Amino acid sequence: MARDLASVWHPFTQHALWAGDDPLVIDRAEGVWLYDSDGARYLDGVSSLWVTVHGHREPAINEAIRAQLDRLDHATFLGLTHEPGIALAEALLAGAPSGLSRVFYAGDGASAVEAALKMAFQFAAQRGESRPLFLSVAEGYHGDTLGAVSVGGIGLFSDTYRPILLETRQIPSPGVGDGSPSQRAAASCAALAQVMEREGERVCAVIVEPMVQAAAGMLTHSADFLRGARRCAAAAGALLIADEVATGFGRTGRMWAVEHAEVAPDLLTCGKGLTGGYLPLSAVLATEEVYEAFLGSPSTGRTFFHGHTYTANPLACAAALANLTLMTERGTVARAAALGEQLAALLAPLAAEVSEIRRIGTMTGIDLGSHDPDRRVGARVCRVARDRGVWVRPLGDVVVLMPPLAIHDDELELLVDTVRDAVRQVRAEGAG
Ligand SMILES: *Cc1c(COP(=O)(O)O)cnc(C)c1O
């Protein structure tokens, strides 16, 4: 830790507190367990920030990466291609929402979002339309690069950068406010329609987190919102971008969250669980219509001048391919849906003791209510859980549960029991 404190700057971390929080040094992992440098183990209750699918060091994924390592470590995807990149694209499209037929690789979730935003703008431009505006949703989160922050709706993460961000129009979140979920969805859709009426011909894309605004604290909403957004975007000639970076690969109990609404987006971004939690890889899935707008002779300038040095890294593609194969073989999506129901039952006794419990599939937020940030109520609950062998990380005063989809029943019970006891202990200490 002394060496960490002397040289490292961590993401989303207040370093004035970091040393005092007695951080863990993680040494190894297996299944749903993380082991620290003292040999103590912690149940990975947030799938290592929402990525782990089949567990840590899953033998089949380890083996796929090793086999790839012995064949091809890396080759550029700019002007070359390779089997893992091709096979993964085929596998992704085989299970994709209808209409999506092309895969563009990126590295992290934010870089997939960045690519999707640029694609949407350029798509319109190449059809002779000037559409410089993005339409986004309050409380949304799409990553931390400037384009992604521009369409983000969490003030704490974006307000500082406002002077250097893209121009957007923001509608109210369907996940907060008065009324029933369907009333909120209707209100958000009405706001969306209003913006489109005024300046719809200048909007190139509407970007949404389908079914749940995860980083805002697992704010779930009605599928009506997605259906409304789909209609409104199409009517205005704008694209619908479904950001499935958090929700993709079974987390909501379906392969893709848009399936809950039977909505097909024009662009879909995915990342996080794509490699099963092993390596940074993300992708934009696009329709043939979008793809074809980029075809032309070199002089037309229609090329998508966008890419990263490590685009479609073969090791990451091999991990992702193994992950998708295992998901099919093991029926992981159905298992995730069942896990979600188990979570609901296990959490039911806690519901009356907290402000709200929100959940879709296995994505769960236990909202402890609003507190002074300096009291760090969410962080204190997580610290009590950590001392009892469960690792969870809060979003403010929302404690998140996002177990690996391969978690066993007894491990799930341990996760929920421990977090429930931790909530009760912190409340008893007078913070809840
Ligand atoms: C996490 C997340 C991102 C950003 O992904 P990174 O890999 O952290 O860049 C984008 N969109 C959503 C919905 C996310 O949850």
Q: Which domains does the chain have, with CATH numbers?
A: 2-57+332-428 (3.90.1150.10), 62-330 (3.40.640.10)
pLDDT digits (tens, 9 = 90+) for 23-57: 999 999 999 999 999 999 999 999 999 999 999 99
What is the mean pLDDT of the segment spanning 126-154?
Answer: 98
Contacts with 107 (C-beta within 8 Å, 6 or more apart), sequence order: 280, 281, 282, 308, 310, 311
The CA–CA distances, whole Å, from 56 to 48, 203, 230, 309, 401 equal 9, 42, 37, 27, 17
Share of the chain above pLDDT 70, in %: 100
pTM of the model: 0.98
- Which has the closest alpha carbon to 157: 278, 31, 272, 11? 11
Contacts with 330 (C-beta within 8 Å, 6 or more apart), sequence order: 54, 406
- Residue 306 and residue 290 in contact, taking contact as beta carbons nearer than 8 Å: no
109 Cα–ligand 1 center, Å: 4
pLDDT at residue 317 greater than cutoff 50: yes
Nearest atom (ligand 1) to Cα of 214: 15
- Which has the closest alpha carbon to 154: 63, 217, 77, 108? 217
Instruction: Phi first, then psi: give them for residue 190, nearest 5 degrees.
Output: -65, -40
Rounded CA separation 371/356 (Å): 14
Nearest atom (ligand 1) to Cα of 215: 15
Kindly tell me the number of DSSP H helices and DSSP E strands found in the chain.
15, 17
Label residue 125 by pLDDT band (50, 70, 90).
Answer: very high
pLDDT digits (tens, 9 = 90+) for 226-239: 999 999 999 999 99
pLDDT digits (tens, 9 = 90+) for 282-300: 999 999 999 999 999 999 9
- Which of 108, 142, 207, 279 to probe ligand 1 with, by most ligand atoms within 8 A of CB? 142
Label residue 144 by pLDDT band (50, 70, 90).
Answer: very high
pLDDT digits (tens, 9 = 90+) for 44-101: 999 999 999 999 999 999 999 999 999 999 999 999 999 999 999 999 999 999 999 9
pLDDT at residue 432 greater than cutoff 80: no
Rounded CA separation 172/140 (Å): 10
Bridge partners of 133, per DSSP, are 203
**Rg over CA atoms, the chain:** 21
Label residue 430 by pLDDT band (50, 70, 90).
Answer: confident
Q: Within 6 Å (CB) of ligand 1, which residues are found?
A: 108-110, 113, 141-143, 209, 214-215, 243, 245-246, 271-272
